[in-house]
Structure 1
Amino acid sequence: MNNRFHTPKFMVKAALGAGLSVLTLGGILWLSSGPPIKGTSTQATDVNTASSELTATLKTDLMTSEYIAVGAVPTEIMPEAIPPSDIEKMVTVSSGDTLMSLLVTAGATRSEAHGAITALTDVYSPKKIRPGLDIALTFASPTSIETLDTTRDVGPLRAMQFQPSVERIVKVSTAEGENLRYIAEEIQRPLTMKMARSTNEINSSLYLAAQNVSVPNDIMIKLIRAYSFDVDFQREIQKGDRFEVVYEAYYDEDNNLARTGEMIYGNLTLSGDDLQLYRYTPSSGFTDYFNEKGQSAKKALMRTPVDGARLSSRFGKRKHPVLGYTKVHKGVDFAAPRGTPIYAAGDGVIVRANRFSSFGNYIKIRHHSGYQTAYAHLKGFAKGIKKSKRVRQGQVIGYIGTTGRSTGPHLHYEVLFNGRQVNPLGVKLPAGEKLKSVDLKKFKVEQKKINQMMNDLKKPAALAQVQPN
């Protein structure tokens, strides 16, 4: 008899001893909890010689008794098998990481990682992945039937997903029925743009007043930059002044703020005087902020080329904090945390960008009309900043530091006119563009529309009602 159809005798004896009926059909041992089959003996050990009457009786017993195939399943019914769960992992991109190294370190084989990255290139360049990005990975369980390598703590890589922007989700997953062929897809999140308005009284600083009414940081920076040509935020802001800002806000499907757009309008009420600014693009094509008379807020130079800094030392005579004696301070100092970005105060060409005497890391820019600006004690220079490089106003050129003769992180900022240092906070700067003729008429129309929109935003539930034109 073939071994795979052999019925062990100890099973038969044990079954008969327990008062169960025994029958083998096709080599499978059946046990019946019913009464012994007619014509059989409870002492019999070989049921293959049972009479044909057994077959008829078995048909009846099969209708009334429970039979279990010995060797196929235990005598107790096994519950339905639960498939092993996938394993989820979250990895964060750090400086120096490559997508290949991240996937392999997380548990993917090089073959799986290569397949996923190759598929990804159809919708997103792996070179664009930056430090700080979170990537969700899905692996099969190491106990799944797909896993052949028992030394791995995870099974094959099944999916990879990340969100490079608030509007975009990128996903790579295995093709249906295949383990190592990956397909990529891009999912666009629908965002709704609405106009938002914020206003508050200033009790200590403009920044805190804006923070207290949840003005997004990027909108706050745009407001400060727009006014940085005319307003000395250290001396001119007083308790009881106010600000107002209107900006584009993009909301997701759950009505959560996803991102912001442009600042459309700003107003600073300083000592009772309103300084209103409207965003407008004239025929020149250069978008700017203009006051109610059509005069650009932009000047040749910014008075404050750093955001959120504290004026720590003014222009003029002072007792030097390191040398200990009184000498003329030919610039102004702005104290800020190490690494805070520094902006080019105006369009121009870099004439120096290196280490320079007691100034430490130092940049000097030549502007038009005889003006130059200088920036000292920098931690370092922005990428690409070097001598003869042309820069635009507001471009990041370096970062706050404490190199050279310095007692703490700050920016020493100078404005030079015809080679002589002048007070950056007091010098009269050349005005920007003034709208005329057709541009002025079109600006007045746009100004009226913005004013009407602001009135609508002041009404209850305005945020949900006012839509952009």
Structure 2
Amino acid sequence: MRASSPDLARDRAILDSYDPRVWAAEWARAHGSAASAGAASSHLATLRRGPAGMALAAALALCVLGAGALTAWLQQTAPTAPAGPASPGRPGAAPSTPAGPGELRRTLILPAATDLPRMLAAQGIEAELARRIAENAIPGLRPTGEVRAVLVLDATTSPPRFIRLEASNGDSSGVVVRQAEAGQLAVSRVAAQIESRILVQHGTMDGDSFYTSAVAVGIPNSLIPVFAKALSFDFDFQREVSAGDAFEAAWSQPVNSSGEAVGAPTLLYASLTTTAKTAAVYRSVGADGVEEWYDASGRSTVRSFMRTPVDGARVTSKFGMRFHPVLHYNRLHAGVDFAVPVGTPVYASAGGVVIGSHPTACGGNMAVVRHDNGWVTRYFHLSKFADGLYEGERIPQGFTLGLSGTTGTCTTGPHLHYEVRINDEPVDPLSIQTDSSGKTLSGQDLVTFAAMRDRIDVARAQQAD
């Protein structure tokens, strides 16, 4: 039997839907789940000759031929069912209102918010109304990223009348556009439903590097240099850490209502156990917004001098007499060479005053700092000085003096040459014993720190193997 013109128009609208479950649900509603394959084939033949095309007709055929099994499934997940929590693996949705009597709900996943006008038109919304709805919804959505759209229609009218659009970003923030009186639209914003979870991972060092070891157990890439820096006062990751040493990290991760990560993680806890010692540190942020690391009792892990003034360094040449690879004669190597890529930040080992920041012939760009205890540190081969760095400037410990490089005539590759001088005599930087800064939390700062420490420890215990 040949489909009537209204039936054909309706079914082409169904084919324009973005969700295959809508196609099957609409077909079952219009024709009954017991529709024969013969009738379906005849109807598809009509559609095939129309502008909907073979691909869309084939999609409808698959839905009809599987009507028996699909009908049971649709009873569980059809878009006409009241909205529940977002399914795992899908972007979170703004809280949606359950469908009322006679309401038809269609749930669609759009590549971007700019697809809203096309989607609304494909669902049978009149072009001008579709444009107005989209104009009101798009400001509440992100310009990029998937959008979950729930379109609610009045199924008691022909054609179905627009009731509301619930659209949400991946973090569950979004917007609701409703049909109001006198043809007006009411718009309301929905705040993101974000919570912070503490995640924990631990592992053992492999034979390659801490980086590969941490990535292997699921620690986010962005946290690995933070982990190393948090423990930099306690360990030299190049000389004191080896295969088999144990490490653990805990971090906070913002997630949406579907449990999906939305935003950058923040390291909260780091621990490392070697054959020689164990150290564990907890993050705390002071009233000034500065991040610092403390042991479990609230004592700062900061030492008077940093063990290594650059992250991710590998020692390529130690302090002492050696045959110079460029000058070709034996002479004292008055510092330590750390191999790092060009552009790696170089930090001041301790607070002090900049007494030099200029190019030299053999050492290239050099920064020199005199510290409060009279010691002097020198940093060579910089590719660039920090913006605004000037002689006479007072700087704190960890201040970025510049970026590593290959400047100067006495270098065979990118590295930092680092020197420490005490009473104007060169001293092996790796032999210096550093002492504690003595800072300890007290009062309300200690109470706040202890509460966060306990929360981290509970998460560590719950997620332990």
Give how far 1:189 is off: 5.2
Residue correspondences, number: 299
Asked whether the equivalents of residues 319 and 335 of structure 2 are also in contact (C-alpha less than 8 Å), the reply is yes
Q: 1:338 to 1:215 in 2, by over 3 A?
A: same
Q: 1:281 to 1:318 in 2, by over 3 A?
A: same
Partner of 1:307: 311
Q: Does 1:195 align with 2:227?
A: no
Q: Does 1:276 align with 2:301?
A: no
Partner of 1:399: 403
Q: Does 1:236 align with 2:278?
A: no
| Counterpart secondary structure, 2:272 | strand
| Counterpart secondary structure, 1:379 | strand
One-letter amino acid of the counterpart of residue 416, structure 1: R
Give how far 1:162 is off: 6.2
Give how far 1:438 is off: 5.2
Partner of 1:388: 392
Q: 1:238 to 1:399 in 2, by over 3 A?
A: same
Distance of 1:444 and 1:187 partners within structure 2: 34
Distance of 1:285 and 1:399 partners within structure 2: 25
Asked whether the equivalents of residues 282 and 439 of structure 1 are also in contact (C-alpha less than 8 Å), the reply is no
| Counterpart secondary structure, 2:279 | strand
**1:114-129 correspondence runs (5 A):** none
| Counterpart secondary structure, 2:304 | coil
Give how far 1:320 is off: 0.9
Distance of 1:363 and 1:373 partners within structure 2: 8
Give how far 1:382 is off: 2.4
Q: 1:357 to 1:188 in 2, by over 3 A?
A: farther
One-letter amino acid of the counterpart of residue 206, structure 2: N
Q: Which runs of 5+ in 2 are unaligned?
A: 1-49, 52-111, 118-137, 146-169, 175-188
Q: Does 1:418 align with 2:431?
A: no
Distance of 1:313 and 1:168 partners within structure 2: 53
Give how far 1:353 is off: 1.2
1:372 to 373, 376, 382: 376
Q: Deviations over 1:265-306 (max 9, x none)?
A: 211010174211123467998653222454321112212121
Q: Deviations over 1:1-32 (max 9, x none)?
A: xxxxxxxxxxxxxxxxxxxxxxxxxxxxxxxx
Distance of 2:249 and 2:405 partners within structure 1: 32
Partner of 1:7: none
- Identity score, percent: 33
Give how far 1:397 is off: 2.3
Give how far 1:225 is off: 0.8
Asked whether the equivalents of residues 162 and 169 of structure 1 are also in contact (C-alpha less than 8 Å), the reply is no
Asked whether the equivalents of residues 414 and 422 of structure 1 are also in contact (C-alpha less than 8 Å), the reply is yes
**TM score, norm. by length of structure 2:** 0.55
| Counterpart secondary structure, 1:257 | coil
Distance of 2:287 and 2:114 partners within structure 1: 50
**1:48-447 correspondence runs (5 A):** 161=143, 190-204=193-207, 205-271=209-275, 273-280=277-284, 287-404=291-408, 405-435=410-440, 442=447, 447=453
Partner of 1:453: 459
Give how far 1:448 is off: 4.3
Q: Deviations over 1:287-343 (max 9, x none)?
A: 532224543211122121212221111111121111122211111111112122222
One-letter amino acid of the counterpart of residue 421, structure 2: L
- Once superposed, what is the RMSD of the aligned Cα atoms? 4.0
Q: 1:386 to 1:218 in 2, by over 3 A?
A: farther
Distance of 1:239 and 1:247 partners within structure 2: 24
Give how far 1:169 is off: 10
| Counterpart secondary structure, 1:237 | coil
Give how far 1:409 is off: 0.6
Give how far 1:421 is off: 2.3
| Counterpart secondary structure, 2:362 | helix
Q: Deviations over 1:162-192 (max 9, x none)?
A: 69xx98999xxxxxxxxxxxxxxx9975533
Distance of 1:262 and 1:208 partners within structure 2: 20
Distance of 2:276 and 2:308 partners within structure 1: 23
Asked whether the equivalents of residues 299 and 441 of structure 2 are also in contact (C-alpha less than 8 Å), the reply is no
Greater Cα radius of gyration, structure 1 or 2: 1
Asked whether the equivalents of residues 247 and 260 of structure 1 are also in contact (C-alpha less than 8 Å), the reply is no
Distance of 1:391 and 1:301 partners within structure 2: 14
Distance of 1:285 and 1:136 partners within structure 2: 36
Asked whether the equivalents of residues 173 and 193 of structure 2 are also in contact (C-alpha less than 8 Å), the reply is no
Give how far 1:196 is off: 0.9
| Counterpart secondary structure, 1:265 | strand
Give how far 1:375 is off: 1.0
**TM score, norm. by length of structure 1:** 0.55
Asked whether the equivalents of residues 300 and 439 of structure 2 are also in contact (C-alpha less than 8 Å), the reply is yes
Asked whether the equivalents of residues 316 and 330 of structure 1 are also in contact (C-alpha less than 8 Å), the reply is yes
